[in-house]
Structure 1
Amino acid sequence: MVCFCFLVDQRRKVWRSKPVAGSCSRCGRGASVADIRTSTRFCYVPFYWKSWKAVMCTFCGAILRSYR
Protein backbone atom coordinates (compact mmCIF):
# COMPACT_ATOMS: atom_id res chain seq x y z
CA MET A 1 0.00 0.00 0.00
CA VAL A 2 1.38 3.40 -1.03
CA CYS A 3 0.40 6.68 0.59
CA PHE A 4 1.50 10.05 -0.83
CA CYS A 5 1.44 13.21 1.25
CA PHE A 6 2.07 16.51 -0.55
CA LEU A 7 1.01 19.03 2.07
CA VAL A 8 3.53 21.88 2.02
CA ASP A 9 3.01 25.29 3.59
CA GLN A 10 5.11 28.29 4.52
CA ARG A 11 4.68 30.48 7.59
CA ARG A 12 6.14 33.87 8.41
CA LYS A 13 6.66 35.07 11.97
CA VAL A 14 7.85 38.52 13.05
CA TRP A 15 10.35 38.23 15.89
CA ARG A 16 11.19 41.89 16.54
CA SER A 17 10.25 45.19 15.03
CA LYS A 18 11.04 48.84 15.61
CA PRO A 19 9.59 51.92 13.93
CA VAL A 20 11.46 53.79 11.21
CA ALA A 21 10.97 57.17 9.59
CA GLY A 22 8.76 57.02 6.53
CA SER A 23 5.41 55.69 5.49
CA CYS A 24 3.89 52.87 3.47
CA SER A 25 3.50 53.54 -0.25
CA ARG A 26 0.25 51.53 -0.38
CA CYS A 27 -1.79 52.80 2.58
CA GLY A 28 0.20 55.79 3.88
CA ARG A 29 0.58 54.49 7.44
CA GLY A 30 3.83 54.01 9.40
CA ALA A 31 6.58 51.52 8.62
CA SER A 32 8.89 49.42 10.78
CA VAL A 33 12.03 47.30 10.43
CA ALA A 34 11.27 43.69 11.35
CA ASP A 35 13.27 40.52 11.92
CA ILE A 36 11.26 37.81 10.18
CA ARG A 37 11.63 34.03 10.27
CA THR A 38 10.15 31.97 7.44
CA SER A 39 9.61 28.27 7.98
CA THR A 40 8.63 25.78 5.29
CA ARG A 41 6.82 22.66 6.46
CA PHE A 42 6.19 19.36 4.70
CA CYS A 43 3.42 17.24 6.25
CA TYR A 44 3.44 19.50 9.35
CA VAL A 45 7.16 18.89 9.95
CA PRO A 46 9.43 21.95 9.50
CA PHE A 47 12.39 21.10 7.29
CA TYR A 48 13.70 24.55 6.27
CA TRP A 49 13.75 27.97 7.92
CA LYS A 50 15.38 31.26 7.12
CA SER A 51 15.76 34.49 9.09
CA TRP A 52 15.84 37.86 7.33
CA LYS A 53 15.12 41.56 7.82
CA ALA A 54 12.46 43.59 6.06
CA VAL A 55 10.85 47.02 6.13
CA MET A 56 7.14 46.39 6.45
CA CYS A 57 3.98 48.39 7.00
CA THR A 58 2.58 48.31 10.54
CA PHE A 59 -1.03 48.60 9.33
CA CYS A 60 -1.46 46.51 6.15
CA GLY A 61 1.56 44.19 6.57
CA ALA A 62 2.99 44.83 3.10
CA ILE A 63 6.72 44.17 2.75
CA LEU A 64 8.22 47.34 1.31
CA ARG A 65 11.85 46.21 1.16
CA SER A 66 13.63 43.03 2.15
CA TYR A 67 17.23 42.42 3.17
CA ARG A 68 18.06 38.75 2.63
Structure 2
Amino acid sequence: MVFFCFLVDQTRHVQGSKPAAGTCTRCGSGASVADIKTATRFCYVPFYWKSWRAIVCTFCGAVLRSYR
Protein backbone atom coordinates (compact mmCIF):
# COMPACT_ATOMS: atom_id res chain seq x y z
CA MET A 1 0.00 0.00 0.00
CA VAL A 2 1.38 3.40 -1.00
CA PHE A 3 0.33 6.80 0.33
CA PHE A 4 1.17 10.08 -1.36
CA CYS A 5 1.43 13.22 0.75
CA PHE A 6 1.90 16.67 -0.69
CA LEU A 7 2.69 20.04 0.83
CA VAL A 8 -0.76 21.44 1.51
CA ASP A 9 -0.13 25.09 2.32
CA GLN A 10 1.97 27.72 3.97
CA THR A 11 0.13 30.55 5.70
CA ARG A 12 1.26 33.90 7.07
CA HIS A 13 -0.48 35.63 9.96
CA VAL A 14 0.34 39.16 11.08
CA GLN A 15 0.33 39.13 14.87
CA GLY A 16 0.93 42.85 15.41
CA SER A 17 2.08 45.92 13.54
CA LYS A 18 3.00 49.55 14.04
CA PRO A 19 3.62 52.40 11.56
CA ALA A 20 7.10 52.88 10.11
CA ALA A 21 8.76 55.75 8.31
CA GLY A 22 9.03 55.43 4.54
CA THR A 23 6.93 54.41 1.56
CA CYS A 24 6.46 51.32 -0.56
CA THR A 25 8.67 51.15 -3.65
CA ARG A 26 5.93 49.36 -5.63
CA CYS A 27 2.79 51.42 -5.00
CA GLY A 28 3.96 54.48 -3.03
CA SER A 29 1.75 53.78 0.00
CA GLY A 30 2.86 53.81 3.65
CA ALA A 31 4.81 51.06 5.41
CA SER A 32 4.54 49.35 8.77
CA VAL A 33 6.68 47.05 10.91
CA ALA A 34 4.88 43.75 11.49
CA ASP A 35 5.48 40.62 13.57
CA ILE A 36 4.63 37.71 11.27
CA LYS A 37 4.12 34.02 12.04
CA THR A 38 4.51 31.52 9.19
CA ALA A 39 2.95 28.07 9.57
CA THR A 40 3.59 25.18 7.17
CA ARG A 41 1.22 22.21 7.04
CA PHE A 42 2.09 18.87 5.47
CA CYS A 43 -0.86 16.55 4.80
CA TYR A 44 -3.09 18.82 6.90
CA VAL A 45 -0.80 18.45 9.93
CA PRO A 46 1.10 21.57 11.05
CA PHE A 47 4.76 20.74 11.53
CA TYR A 48 6.76 23.98 11.26
CA TRP A 49 6.27 27.49 12.68
CA LYS A 50 8.52 30.50 12.32
CA SER A 51 8.09 33.99 13.77
CA TRP A 52 9.85 36.94 12.19
CA ARG A 53 9.67 40.71 11.82
CA ALA A 54 9.30 42.52 8.50
CA ILE A 55 8.53 45.92 7.00
CA VAL A 56 5.41 45.51 4.87
CA CYS A 57 3.31 47.82 2.71
CA THR A 58 -0.03 48.77 4.27
CA PHE A 59 -1.80 48.84 0.88
CA CYS A 60 -0.45 46.06 -1.35
CA GLY A 61 1.05 43.81 1.39
CA ALA A 62 4.49 43.48 -0.22
CA VAL A 63 7.33 42.53 2.12
CA LEU A 64 9.83 45.36 1.70
CA ARG A 65 12.45 44.07 4.16
CA SER A 66 12.57 41.11 6.51
CA TYR A 67 14.43 40.61 9.78
CA ARG A 68 14.75 36.91 10.53
TM-score w.r.t. the length of structure 1 is 0.93
Q: C-alpha separation between the residues in 2 aligned to 1:55 and 1:14?
A: 11
SS of 2:15's partner is strand
Could you give the per-residue CA deviations for residues 2-22 of structure 1, whole angstroms, max 9, x where no partner exists? 221213321111000000111
Deviation of the 1:43 alpha carbon: 0.9
Q: Give the count of matched residue pairs.
A: 68
What letter matches 1:62 in structure 2? A
SS of 2:60's partner is coil
Runs of at least 5 residues in structure 2 that lack an aligned partner in the other structure: none
Q: C-alpha separation between the residues in 1 aligned to 2:21 and 2:6?
A: 43
Give RMSD over aligned pairs.
Answer: 0.9
User: 2:39 maps to which residue?
Assistant: 39
User: 1:60 maps to which residue?
Assistant: 60
Between the aligned residues of both structures, percent identity stands at: 78
For 1:12-27, what aligned pairs fall within 5 Å after superposition? 12-27=12-27
